[in-house]
Amino acid sequence: MVLGERELAIGFRLIGFKDVVEVTPATAQAEFRRVVDSGEFSLVIASQSIAGALSESQRMHAEASLKPLVVFVPTPTGEYEVESISALAKRVLGVSLAMPG
């Protein structure tokens, strides 16, 4: 499932994704909750702007969730925060890539 702005939604539809929902800041929280709570999807790709529209508890749930796995991608405007590979591994796999030292 992909949740994002019109440009992001169009882009994913063009590459063949069928489960795409265009959201606005006003609809982001409700759509995110609906998709995550449905149990229908194992992966949710969402625009980082959606992360900003979520409540703190929704963001924490998204970061801790493995089913569905929630991945935030850069917004179409190009503004984004980069999650390091080690932080992603820790969040998704529960393992630390840091070398003991």
pLDDT in tens, 37-91: 999 999 999 988 888 888 888 888 888 888 899 998 887 665 555 566 666 666 6
Confidence check: pLDDT of 99 > 80: no
Place of tokens 């998704």: 92
The superfamily (CATH) of domain 2-93 is ATPase, V1 complex, subunit F (3.40.50.10580)
- Domain edges within the chain: 2-93
Element (H, E) at 45: strand 43-47
Q: Who has greater pLDDT, 8 or 82?
A: 8
Q: Name the one residue in this structure whose structure tokens are 């999807």.
A: 41
The pLDDT of residue 91: 65
66: which DSSP letter?
B
pLDDT in tens, 16-48: 999 999 998 889 899 999 999 999 999 999 988
- Looking at residue 63, what is its pLDDT? 85
Q: Decide: pTM greater than 0.75.
A: no
Res 49: pLDDT: 84
